[in-house]
Structure formats: C-alpha cells, structure tokens
C-alpha cells in the first residue's frame, strides 16, 4: 500500500480530506466534522460508528475505493462482531484504519443528526438531533502531585476526548461524583445537555438514555417515552387529568382558583404527581431506570401551561387574558418538583396567546403550514379547540370554547376511547336501523362475526358521537336545526319519547343501553358551532373564502371520519380529498421538540409570526356561532361536500315535535 496520505470521502455529506495511513475513520470523521455517532469514544463498545466502504472508481473524486484499502478486522472489532453482530460489509469506524484511498458511506442509523420517517400520513419527517448526548471517558486518577479536584479532571477528560468546553455541573450530581468515579474505576459515561451541562453520570460504559414527550390536556394527560438515540417511541401511557375534579372546562378551574386561595397550588401538585407517575409507569413498562429519563418536552393550553409551571392562571380568566409568559421555558425536573432525576431537563413550548397555548404551537410545528403556499386550516379538537389558519405568507390563530362533549363528557352514553366504546356508526335511511363498530372488535354489529363479548359495549366515544349525529342527519332523524323528529316514532321503535323530547336508541343488549338524546345533539351542536365560528372568523380576517387543506388533530383526531365531520359542520367546506385526520399533532410536535433541538429554535421563531385573534371580543363571532348551530350550516352551501355526499333538504321539521303528553299539557295551558 502507498505511504502517501490516503484520501477519504464521506458520503452523504461529501466531506473529504487526506490523512496519514493508520488514521482511524472515526478520527478522520471528527477532523472533518462528519456527522458520525459515537458514545464510547472509539473503544468499540457502543457500535454506533458503523460505516460502509463503497467500492468502485470515483472519477469525480479521483479515487479508486476498495475494501482492502482499510485495515482488516482486529481482535477488538472481531469481538464486537461476535457479541453483537455486524451487517455484511459494515465496519466500526473507530477500529478501521485508512491504508489507501476510500469512499465511506455513513448510513442513517450511524448519524447523530438524521431523519426518522414517521408513518402517519401528512406529517413531515422527524429530525433526530437530541439535546442530551452520552460521552464515555477515562478520567485520570488523582495523585499527590496533582491537586485538581475530581470534577475538574472529569471536565478536562470530556474536553480532551470530545471537545466539550466550559461545562457546568449541579451540586446534586457533584455529591455523587466521587462515588461514581471510583465505582467505575475512573471509567464513566456522562450525559451532557446542549453541550454545556453535565446532568448525569454512570460508572463504566452506559449507552441508553430516554426522553419523554408530554401533552397536558384539559381532560387527559399523555406521556410518550422515547429512545433519544433513535427517536423511537418505546412506551406510551395516559390518564385523566386530575384537575377535572376542580372543573371540567378551563374557566371552571380558573374560577376555582379565584374562589379558593391556594387552589392553583392544589392543581399544580395534582398534575405534577400524575405526570411523574405516568413517566414512572412507562419506564417500568420497558424495564428502564427512571434515573435515565433525562429530557422532557411539555405542551398544553395556556391554563394547563401555567398550572404546570406553578403560575397562578387567574389573569387568563378575563380580558385581556394576559399570559405570564408567552416564551418557551427551559428548566429542570427539580424545579417542577417531579419525582425523578432532579437534573433531568424540561422544555415547555411557547404559547401563542392567552387562549392559544403550547399545544397549538406544537401542532403548528408538526404540520408546518408555514412551509407551503396552500391555505391550510389546522384544528385541534379538544375541550378548548385551537385553530390556526395560514401558509408561508401569513399565520393566524384563535381558540374556541368547545367544551368536553367531543371527548365523551356531557354526553349521556359518552366515554373515553377505550375497548368497548362505539367508535363507528352507520344508519340505514330506509329502516333507521343502525350498525356499529366498537373498539376492540373489527367487525360491524350486523356481521355474524361480531363478538362484543371480547370487550363488551360500554358506551360511545368522540369519533362515534360525531358519526352518529351526522348519520342521524343524513337519515332524516335529525333536522338541520338539530331536532330529533318525533314523527319517526311511528316508523321505528328506535325513535322514542324521552321526557319532553325524543331520543334515538343506538344500541341495546342485556347489559347496556346506548341512547342519543336531544340534549346530546344540542351539546354537539354547541361544540361544533364554537369550533366552526372560530375557523370562519379566521377566514374572514384572512380575507379568504375557502381553504385548500384541512388537518384535524386532537386526542381522537386520527379516528375522526372526515366526511362525517364535514357533514356535521364541524369544519368549513373543502374538497374531501384534502381533509386529513392527523391524530395527536400536539403530541407529535412535542416529540419533534424532544428529538430535535433545532425544532425548538424553529417554533420559538415561528410563534412570533402568528397573529392572534381573540374570539371573546370579536363582534362577528356570535353571528358565525348562531349560523353554525345548523347542520351542517345555516347559510354556507357546502358545495364541495355536496359533490360527494347527498345531503337532506334543509327544511325544518314542522309542528311542536314533542311527545303527545307534552302537547296535551301545552294545549291545556293555552285554553281559556
């Protein structure tokens, strides 16, 4: 082999250089700032620096690349291959030495900053560039001639091997530092946050660290435990927000604080305890040490945001709905008094406005409408709906108080989405007979294979509620004004008098009876009208008469049938082919911020561009709300929807439309 310097080109970056024969590929990559992962610092322990030698003639680079232009596998690399395996052709860059010219391919899984393709339709790729990184080092032992402290020598080792300078370390970690160094025989792994803070230390080699993306919703709290090395969600868990006992909606909770001094501290403590328990649960589920969860991102509406951070939310209860801070917050688990590693870092995404929170910011980060020309409407359906409209030119946002009806609350047979909940409904317009599908059973109820005994039918969840009322409208059971037609009781026993109004029997068995009442219809009308009115207000302020694309998010966004949502009038008219359910976009945005520190910089910048519209003080909101009470709408023609769905005539039902006994009482009261 040639004794001249060996040329090396790293792909896909294209970075190239010349090095003395015998230089390891890892050292060459570091010199050229190639994006090549390593935790162990070249000791063949982590296996993250795997590369491929691409053989062939590369005229562009003036290189003839061959596998034998690298040193053969030595004892260390052979041992790693025997213990952990190496795919054909792969080498450990920390062990393979340059002998002659080569072209080296760095595969995606060996890059620190890489893309992880997410499977959900309509979502962008996830960039992997975590703020917490692991670094294995060997620290010089102390001696009588060197007075430097153990922390100083640890910092010097990290600077020498990894180029990390001006590092800081908290007192709590320093308290355990000497014990860990000696337990590891001066070989330790340090977790460094954002290349400036040492936040964890383990004896010996350690290559596993986790992060948690947490969506603090008004009704539910969701936690996703992620592997910071590859971005995978390893476990997820959720629980009802314990603050519900102080009030189902946000203003009820603010009122509780106003009327009960110290009530904000009660709610803060309850939500933090639930979050800590959920993180502990998901860690235990995969057998992970809770101490190894070192980074967390949080999203939530403004009231949840303030209560999580221990901020009194009273100012959010009235105009001008002032936030204590609309900036992102970076702090620690110790500050939030979470029962876990106190040095774990916390990043709370920024809020947009007094009623448009960090969850809406996370939705914007996930969907990234600011990258496109298309006018996109983003709707996060929840207890308080956040709505964002715009494109690369302009962004506007508002919120609407939809209440908890879409999540099953205030609905007679409503429940959370869980096994046994009805989530799909179809009604025959001729017979008015329904068929349903429940979570946990793939078959419809009219199929011989339907076996509800696997789960038991227990109620109806959000997506089922939307579908049943839309189907009742399409079947003529419900008028455009939202009245259940009592005259249909003569045609079907499914429609029956219930007090002063009529109801519809959706499902009945020995153990359960799921009924849609007139009040259920009203609750959904109120919720959907508030959401639609907010969207319409943004369109009016943006001076657009239609939207090109709609993305529906929320806790059950991935389960909503977009056609039924539009039939109901939940969203404005749009080509159904351009209407998507994108699931929990707020949670996805939290994951993006967790796995990519550049995403945090991006959303901090984008939020400053968003114009905030306050529906509570907009005079046109009430007019839009009243028109949106109709199904699908009082005046909007829904021309795009009518191209694909036959909507009933808009005539209202005639007569009192109440059970006979009510009519008789009414007549008696009117007699002279």
Asked if 81 and 131 sit in the same domain, the reply is: no
User: Distance between CA 586 and CA 553 in Å, rounded?
Assistant: 8
DSSP assignments along 306-337, one per residue = HHHTT---GGGGSTT---S--S-EEEETTTTT
CATH of the domain at 291: 3.30.420.480
What's the confidence (pLDDT) of residue 389? 97
Asked if 186 and 232 sit in the same domain, the reply is: no
Which neighbouring-strand residues pair with 668?
none
User: Distance between CA 202 and CA 145 in Å, rounded?
Assistant: 27
Which of 112, 146, 172 marks a domain boundary?
A: 112
What's the confidence (pLDDT) of residue 670? 34
CATH of the domain at 159: 3.10.20.880
Q: How far from the centroid of its chain's Cα atoms is residue 191's Cα?
A: 25
Q: 632, exposed or middle or buried, with CB in 10 Å at 0-12, 13-18, 19+?
A: buried
User: Distance between CA 490 and CA 482 in Å, rounded?
Assistant: 20
pTM for this model (two decimals): 0.81
Q: Which of 504, 503, 519, 500 is nearest to 659 (CA)?
A: 500
Which of 169, 188, 203 marks a domain boundary?
A: 203
CATH of the domain at 22: 3.10.20.30
What's the confidence (pLDDT) of residue 471? 97
Render pLDDT for 332-386 as a digit per residue (tens, 0 to 9). 999 999 999 999 999 999 999 888 999 999 999 999 999 999 999 999 887 778 8
Examine residue 667 and state whether it is found in any structural domain, yes or no: no
Domain count, the chain: 4
Beta strands in 264-407 (DSSP E): 293-300, 329-332, 345-348, 376-381, 385-390, 395-400
Asked if 100 and 193 sit in the same domain, the reply is: no
User: Distance between CA 276 and CA 267 in Å, rounded?
Assistant: 14
Burial 183-214 (b: 16+ CB within 10 A, else e): ebebebbbbbbeeebbbbbbbebbeebbbbbb
Asked if 273 and 148 sit in the same domain, the reply is: no
Radius of gyration over alpha carbons of the chain, in Å?
30
Asked if 527 and 654 sit in the same domain, the reply is: yes
Asked if 297 and 435 sit in the same domain, the reply is: no
Q: Determine the structural domain holding residue 68 and report its residue range.
A: 6-112
**Cβ atoms 199, 211 nearer than 8 A:** no
Which residue do the tokens 């690349």 mark? Answer: 65
Render pLDDT for 526-567 as a digit per residue (tens, 0 to 9). 999 999 999 999 999 999 999 999 999 876 666 788 999 999
Asked if 174 and 214 sit in the same domain, the reply is: no
DSSP state of 370: G
What's the confidence (pLDDT) of residue 666? 38
In the chain, which residues have pLDDT < 70? 1-2, 114-125, 404, 407-409, 451-455, 555-558, 650-672
Asked if 634 and 493 sit in the same domain, the reply is: yes
The token duo for 375 is 């006018």
- Count of all residues that appear for the chain in the document: 672
Asked if 53 and 168 sit in the same domain, the reply is: no
Examine residue 261 and state whether it is found in any structural domain, yes or no: yes
User: Distance between CA 200 and CA 190 in Å, rounded?
Assistant: 6
Examine residue 117 and state whether it is found in any structural domain, yes or no: no
Q: How far apart are the first and last CA of the chain?
A: 117
**Cβ atoms 561, 466 nearer than 8 A:** yes
Q: Which of 141, 297, 303 is nearest to 210 (CA)?
A: 297
Asked if 450 and 306 sit in the same domain, the reply is: no
What's the confidence (pLDDT) of residue 409? 67
| Residue 327, C-beta contacts closer than 8 angstroms, at least 6 positions apart | 350, 604
DSSP state of 488: G
Examine residue 522 and state whether it is found in any structural domain, yes or no: yes
Beta strands in 487-529 (DSSP E): 495-498, 501-508, 513-516
With residues binned 3-state (H G I as helix, E B as strand, rest as coil), the percentages for the chain, rounded to 5, are: 35, 25, 40
Asked if 395 and 418 sit in the same domain, the reply is: yes
Asked if 216 and 264 sit in the same domain, the reply is: yes
User: Distance between CA 524 and CA 408 in Å, rounded?
Assistant: 10
What's the confidence (pLDDT) of residue 2? 53
The token duo for 371 is 């990258």
The token duo for 500 is 């002063």
Examine residue 645 and state whether it is found in any structural domain, yes or no: yes
């Amino acid at each position: 082999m040639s004794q001249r310097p060996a040329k090396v080109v790293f792909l896909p970056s294209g970075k190239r250089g010349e090095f003395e024969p015998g230089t390891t590929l890892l050292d060459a990559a570091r010199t050229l700032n190639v994006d090549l992962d390593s935790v162990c610092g070249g000791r063949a322990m982590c296996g993250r620096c795997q590369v491929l030698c691409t053989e062939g003639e590369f005229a562009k680079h003036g290189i003839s690349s061959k596998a034998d232009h690298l040193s053969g596998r030595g004892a260390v690399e052979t041992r790693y291959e025997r213990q952990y395996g190496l795919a054909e052709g792969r080498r450990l860059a920390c062990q393979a030495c340059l002998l002659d010219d080569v072209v080296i391919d760095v595969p995606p899984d060996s890059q620190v900053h890489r893309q992880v393709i997410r499977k959900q339709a309509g979502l962008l790729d996830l960039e992997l560039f975590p703020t917490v990184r692991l670094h294995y080092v060997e620290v010089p032992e102390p001696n009588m001639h060197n007075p430097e402290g153990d922390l100083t020598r640890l910092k010097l080792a990290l600077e020498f091997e990894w180029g990390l300078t001006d590092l800081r370390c908290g007192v709590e970690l320093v308290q355990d530092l000497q014990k860990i160094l000696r337990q590891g025989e001066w070989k330790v792994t340090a977790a460094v946050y954002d290349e400036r803070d040492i936040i964890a230390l383990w004896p010996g080699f350690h290559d596993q660290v986790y992060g948690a993306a947490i969506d603090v919703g008004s009704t539910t709290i969701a936690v996703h435990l992620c592997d910071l090395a590859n971005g995978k969600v390893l476990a997820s868990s959720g629980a009802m927000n314990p603050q519900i006992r102080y009030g189902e909606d946000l203003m009820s909770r603010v009122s509780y604080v106003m009327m009960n001094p110290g009530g904000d501290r009660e709610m803060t403590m309850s939500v933090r305890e639930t979050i800590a328990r959920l993180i502990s649960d998901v860690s235990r589920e995969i057998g992970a040490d809770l101490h190894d969860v070192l980074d967390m991102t949080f999203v939530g509406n403004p009231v949840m945001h303030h209560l999580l951070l221990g901020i009194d939310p009273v100012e959010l209860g009235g105009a001008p709905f002032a936030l204590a801070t609309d900036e992102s917050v970076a702090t620690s688990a110790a500050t939030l008094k979470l029962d876990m590693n106190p040095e774990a870092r916390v990043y709370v995404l920024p809020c947009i406005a007094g009623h448009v929170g960090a969850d809406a910011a996370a939705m914007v980060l996930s969907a990234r409408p600011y990258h496109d020309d298309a006018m996109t409407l983003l709707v996060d359906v929840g207890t308080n709906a956040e709505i964002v409209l715009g494109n690369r030119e302009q962004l506007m946002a508002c919120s609407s108080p939809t209440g908890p009806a879409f999540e099953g609350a205030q609905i007679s047979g409503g429940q959370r989405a869980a096994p046994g909940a009805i989530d799909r409904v179809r009604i025959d317009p001729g017979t008015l007979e329904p068929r349903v599908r429940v979570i946990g059973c793939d078959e419809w109820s009219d199929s011989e294979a339907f076996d509800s005994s696997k789960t038991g039918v227990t109620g109806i969840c959000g997506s089922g509620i939307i579908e049943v009322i839309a189907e009742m409208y399409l079947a003529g059971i419900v008028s455009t004004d939202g009245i259940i037609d009592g005259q249909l009781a003569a045609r079907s026993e499914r429609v029956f008098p219930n007090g002063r109004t009529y109801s519809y029997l959706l499902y009945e068995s020995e153990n359960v009876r799921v009924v849609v009442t007139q009040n259920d219809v009203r609750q959904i009308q109120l919720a959907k009208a508030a959401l639609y009115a907010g969207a319409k207000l943004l369109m009016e302020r943006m001076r657009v008469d239609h939207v090109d694309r709609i993305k529906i998010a929320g806790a059950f966004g991935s389960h909503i049938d977009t056609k039924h949502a539009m039939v109901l009038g939940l969203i404005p008219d749009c080509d159904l082919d351009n209407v998507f359910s994108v699931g929990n976009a707020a949670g996805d945005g939290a994951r993006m911020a967790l796995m990519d520190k550049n995403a945090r910089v991006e959303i901090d910048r984008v939020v400053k561009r968003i114009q905030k519209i306050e529906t509570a003080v907009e005079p046109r909101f009430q007019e839009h709300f009243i028109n949106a009470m109709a199904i699908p709408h009082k005046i909007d023609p829904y021309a795009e929807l009518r191209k694909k769905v036959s909507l009933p005539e808009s005539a209202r039902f005639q007569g009192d439309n109440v059970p006979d006994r009510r009519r008789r009482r009414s007549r008696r009261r009117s007699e002279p």
